[in-house]
Each structure stands twice: as C-alpha cells, then as structure tokens.
Amino acid sequence: MQKIKNIAVIAHVDHGKTTLVDQLLQQSGTYADHQEVQERAMDSNDIEKERGITILSKNTAITYGDHKINIIDTPGHADFGGEVERVLNMVDGVLLLVDAQEGVMPQTKFVLKKAIGFGLIPVVVINKIDKDGSDPERVLDEVFDLLVALDANEDQLEFPVLYAAARDGYAKWEMEDESKDMIPLFDAIIEKVPYPVGSPENDTQAQVFTLDSDNFVGRIGITRIFNGKVKKGDEYLLVKADGSKTKSRISKLIGFKGLDRIEISEAEAGDIVAIAGFSDIDVGDSICDKSNPVALDPMHVEEPTLSVIMSVNNGPLAGQEGKHVTSNKIQERLEKEMETNIAMRMEPMGDASFKVSGRGELQIGILAENMRREGFEFMLARPEVVTKEENGVKMEPFEHLVVDVPEEFQGVAIEKLGKRKANMTLLTPMPDGTIRLEFEIPARGLIGFRNEFLTDTKGEGIMNHSYLEYRAYTGVVVSRTPGALVSMDDGEAVAFSIFNLQSRGVMFISPQEKVYSGMVIGESARPGDLDVNPLKGKALTNMRTSGTDEAVKLVTPRKITLESAMEWIEEDELIEITPESVRIRKKSLDANERKRNARNKKNSK
Ligand SMILES: Nc1nc2c(ncn2[C@@H]2O[C@H](COP(=O)(O)OP(=O)(O)OP(=O)(O)O)[C@@H](O)[C@H]2O)c(=O)[nH]1
Ligand SMILES: [Mg+2]
C-alpha cells in the first residue's frame, strides 16, 4: 500500500498559497526536465491568471521520498469560502499560511475555524518573512490566540510552526536557521500530518469534491477514496445526497502527478483520483460498493448571504452583442453552475428572471464574467443580502471587517463605518505606523463601501472582510449619495456634449458610444438624478471655424466594470451585461415614469 498524505493549503487572500504550491511542485522534482511552467501554475483558468487570484480549489500530487502528497490549493478570498469548506473533509491536514507582516486576517479566522471544526491540526507556516516590517513572533502570538478563541483542543494548540518565504523557496523551523529550501516543510508534512484512516480491504467508499469534464468521456468526478478500492471497468453505485442510487461502470480512472493527469487502472483508500463513467455525477455524491453501499455524509457549506436578480436584457440595445440572450439559455447555464458550485443557489422568479445567491459580490461577479465571456447577455439588479427569520426575528448576515489605514484617515474611516452600522471591536497601532481597526458590520453596510473607502483614504486604505454570523436586523443603512446622470435620448454620444456635461460629474462614456434614454452615463456631482442630453452636437460649421474647439479636452471616463457597477447601482437601476459592454441603466427607461415613482416613494416614507 502506498504511503499517502493529503493536505489543503489555506489562508487569507494573497498570503502566498499558490506560490507555496509552486515551490512544493518544483522542489519535489515533480516536473519533467525542461517542462515549462508558469508562475502560480495552479491558477490555471483565465480569470485566475488575469487577476492573480485563486477562485477554485484544485488538487495536485507530488512524490516526496516514498510518499505521495496530494495537495489541494484553495482560494483565500472570502467570497470563495465555500471552495475551502468543500475540500477540508477530503484532507487529513492543512497548511495554514499567515503573512508575517499582515498577520491574522478575517479569512484566516474563517478557514481556521472550519479546519478546527473538522478536527484537523494545522501546520502553521508564517510566510513572507523576507518582507520589510514582518514580525513573525507577533503573528505567531496572533495565531495562538486565535486558536484559543476558536476553542481548539490541546493537540491542536500544539501545532507545529515553520517560517517561510514561499516566493524565495525556503521554509525553516527556527528564524535563526539557514534559509535553504522547502525540505523542512516536506518533513513537517510527513511527520505532522496523519496518514489517512480507512482501509483498502473495506468496501468501497469515495466522495466527489470537484466536477470536471472531458470531451471524450463526459463528466468526471474528482474523488477522495475513504475505503476500499476503485478499479477501471468495475461497477459501483453512485449515491446522491437525496439517497437516490444509480449503478454504473468506471470507464476511465485518472491519477494526478504535478500538473499532469495520467490514466491508471486502480486506486485505493487514502488517494485522490478522477473517475469517469457516471453521467449524472455531482459534487458531494458518494461512490460505493454495489452490494454494500454506505454513503458518506453529504457536504455542508455555509448558506449564501447575498443575492442578485439576473434577468433577460430588455433594453433598446438588447440582442446586438450577445449570442445567448433568452431566458431558457440563461436558466440552463445557471443550472449547470449550481451542479458544481455548491456554495451558490439559483431560483427562477418568473418573468424571465432568476435569483442567484452566493457569498458576495465577487463570487456572483465572477459567474457573470464567465457568462459574458461565453457569449451571454443579461441584466443584474442591485445585490441584496439574504435575510432569514429565526423565532420570529428578522436576521441578516454580519461580517468581520478589518481596515488598515494611515493614522490621518482613522477618523473618516470610523465615521463612515459608523453610518453603515459598523461596531468597532478593536483598534491596534501597527508597527509600520498604520492603524488597524476591526469591526462587526451588517453585510448590507459593506455594499458599495469599497469605492467610498478608497476615495476617503486616497487609495491607501486596505479593507478585508469575511462572513461572521447571522444577527438581528439593524434597520436602515446609508447607501450611495451622488445621483446618476441619465441620458434623455437614443443615439451616439457626441464629444462636445460630453465636454459640457463634465462639469456636472464624472462621465462613464466616451464619444460615439451608443446610449439610450434611461441609460446612466455618469455620476452626478450632487445627490439626486439628473436627466441630460449627451447627443446635443454643435453645428458643424461652427466646429470648423471657431478654433475654440481646441479646448474640447475630454477627461478619461470612469471605466464601468461588472464589479464596480454592482457596488455602485441603486435599487432603481440595473446593469446591462453583454460580451462587449457593461452599461448601467435605470430600471424604468421612461423619465416621466421615474419621476412618478420617485414621488410615490417620497410620499410613502
Ligand atoms: N515578499 C514575498 N511575497 C510573496 C511570498 N510568497 C508569495 N508572495 C507574493 O504574494 C502574492 C500573492 O501570492 P499567491 O501565491 O497568489 O497568494 P494566494 O494565497 O495563492 O492568493 P489567493 O489564492 O488569491 O488567496 C504574489 O504577488 C506573490 O509573489 C513571499 O514569501 N514573500
Ligand atoms: Mg492562490
């Protein structure tokens, strides 16, 4: 029987997980000579590469001495917390990375809490010790205090600690040790992470934690084998969360080696392999012995906290840029997403619209971004938090928020967050002269806050947040103050009128861009919406003769991205998303109707 270790690498965003996995792949000699590999090799999909963040958990395998180590790299961003939760039950240990300067951050708490909940003993890796301002001892204290606060047991409090610079390829047991290579970390994994329990002699039990597909064999489930063996060509039972069972034969069995996948004929308890042959295989399903099927516990992840209504584009420019524009197509795509993404939910709302729920704006935004790249066209409304009722009390999600600001911005940060119903729990002066403020805040209060915060702190503030728990609803939270500049005509925007409108606020559009009545073309400098005309040209003769046209200098418009739009829009606005454009519009395109609605709203208050 092969000696196997299964680990997940977990941490707050950017603390160096994927970079560490690079080095483990590199230094274990997993790559073939001359194999060309990119930096952060595990971040393999397009959006991950573009943004330099991990979105999906992915597994790889290396050989170290006589051991096989299966490693799962996980995302650190709070919105993808479900990706961490779904893999923690598949491993027997975790490497918890903590940035030696930033220390324990909101998502460090979230992932460690989950790991502790699964009974795992973390191997703590204090990373980026090369950084100026790093303070490994302070960070170690923070980790210890956190474990105590999380009610860790005695074994867990005895966690091993290493100091590392993943980027520079070394880890060591003591700060004084020589900075050489990753061998101390390999040794820590071998010594400190327990072997898988379960036996190849038992009846087969395996669980799917990732779904994949292959043009030739169809759906593939990446599974952890907990007991028994799986053999190519043999028949097994697939047991779903609802208890339904289907019998099928394994048509292809795939093993992992570095970035490669290799066909194998058999694998046994403790290992992680990919299985093809079950046409309706889903994340969380069990693959069991056909005569004695004992299903594994279905996966549990935290419920979504944020939802957005996605609907068919019905604006004047609808259908011009997208390939898939119908309600049926959108529904099909969303249903497919829900099969693999166990942290998201989708609910048809009638009226060609769907409620899509997830952990945050980024998670929903990435789904929308993937869809537009696939040729979809649709609209999104303002994100709303998912409230629920407990014993007759309305509850809403709260987040743990940490902001780091230069001292001079401390006041404005506290003031603005106060308006958003944040409750300050901690104020810590940091060694680099900045102030760290910690808050508990309703998730609602964070919608649209990032932009304002960056402006208020002249781009120097850093904010991080992560899901805390549901608490009683807190009443009204302030939202965007500036109004919208709304086009009152259809056509192509004209440079000269954009120039004239610049004094009214910040423009979102450039000359020649298509606009329509009811489309938002800029942010007004004042509260309250303003109907404006971006099509009003100057008579041509004038243009040629006046000479003053030299002065028509246009300010670069603010670029509307999917996520900035999600942060920015109000309840009466929508985002129109196509493969080529992201536009903001009023829900009601008719100016008179908008005025009527506004009046009614005011009267009802
Ligand atoms: N100075 C320094 N920078 C590092 C070190 N390790 C990683 N980085 C840098 O930190 C940044 C983030 O690294 P990643 O490996 O993508 O971090 P991650 O934890 O995988 O990020 P997410 O998956 O998005 O949560 C990159 O710019 C790395 O080059 C280190 O030891 N020292
Ligand atoms: Mg990563």
Cβ(578) to ligand 1 under 6 A? no
Q: Are 283 and 342 in contact (CB under 8 A)?
A: yes
Give the number of whichever ligand sits closest to the CA of residue 22: 1
Distance CA 348, CA 355 (A): 6
* pLDDT for residue 12: 96
Output the CA torsion sign for 391, 396, 400, 402.
negative
Ligand 1 pocket test, candidate residues 14, 17, 45, 162, most atoms within 8 A of CB: 14
The two structure tokens encoding residue 165: 């610079």
Q: Are 28 and 68 in contact (CB under 8 A)?
A: no
Cβ(75) to ligand 1 under 6 A? yes
Cβ(341) to ligand 1 under 6 A? no
Query: Tokens 């099927």 sit at which residue?
Result: 293
Cβ(12) to ligand 1 under 6 A? no
* pLDDT for residue 542: 46
Residue nearest (by alpha carbon) to ligand 1 atom 21? 14
Atom number of ligand 1 nearest to Cα 127: 31
Give the number of whichever ligand sits closest to the CA of residue 129: 1
Query: Tokens 């454009």 sit at which residue?
Result: 581
Cβ(17) to ligand 1 under 6 A? yes
How far is ligand 2, taken at its centre, from the CA of residue 103, in Å? 17
* pLDDT for residue 544: 45
How far is ligand 2, taken at its centre, from the CA of residue 16, in Å? 7
Q: Are 44 and 108 in contact (CB under 8 A)?
A: no
State percent of the chain over pLDDT 70. Answer: 97
Cβ(167) to ligand 1 under 6 A? yes
531-553 pLDDT per residue, tens: 999 998 764 444 444 444 455 68
Q: Which amino acid is present at 449?
A: F
Residue nearest (by alpha carbon) to ligand 1 atom 7? 16
How far is ligand 1, taken at its centre, from the CA of residue 19, in Å? 6
Region of 46 please: left (phi>0), alpha (psi -120 to 50) or beta: alpha
Q: How many other C-beta atoms can be found within 10 angstroms of the C-beta atom of residue 374?
A: 13
Distance CA 538, CA 550 (A): 14
How far is ligand 1, taken at its centre, from the CA of residue 17, in Å? 7
Distance CA 354, CA 69 (A): 42
Cβ(363) to ligand 1 under 6 A? no
Candidates 396, 452, 402; CA nearest to 424 is: 402
The model's pTM: 0.91
* pLDDT for residue 208: 96
What's the average pLDDT block by block, 10 residues per block, for the chain (605 residues)?
93 97 93 83 93 95 96 96 94 98 94 96 98 95 96 96 97 97 97 96 96 86 97 96 93 94 96 95 94 90 94 96 97 92 93 95 95 98 94 95 95 94 93 91 91 90 93 84 93 92 94 96 94 79 46 85 92 96 96 88 74
353-358 and 245-249 as β-strands: parallel, antiparallel, unpaired? unpaired
Q: Which amino acid is present at 519?
A: M
Atom number of ligand 1 nearest to Cα 97: 19
Distance CA 250, CA 232 (A): 5
Atom number of ligand 1 nearest to Cα 19: 15
Atom number of ligand 1 nearest to Cα 52: 16
Ligand 1 pocket test, candidate residues 10, 12, 18, 19, most atoms within 8 A of CB: 19
Output the CA torsion sign for 472, 476, 481, 485.
positive
* pLDDT for residue 547: 46
- The three-class DSSP label of residue 487 is strand
How far is ligand 2, taken at its centre, from the CA of residue 160, in Å? 22
Cα torsion through 223, 228, 231, 236, rounded to 10: -80
How far is ligand 2, taken at its centre, from the CA of residue 30, in Å? 19
Query: 62: part of which helix (H) or strand (E)?
Result: strand 58-64
How far is ligand 2, taken at its centre, from the CA of residue 209, in Å? 18
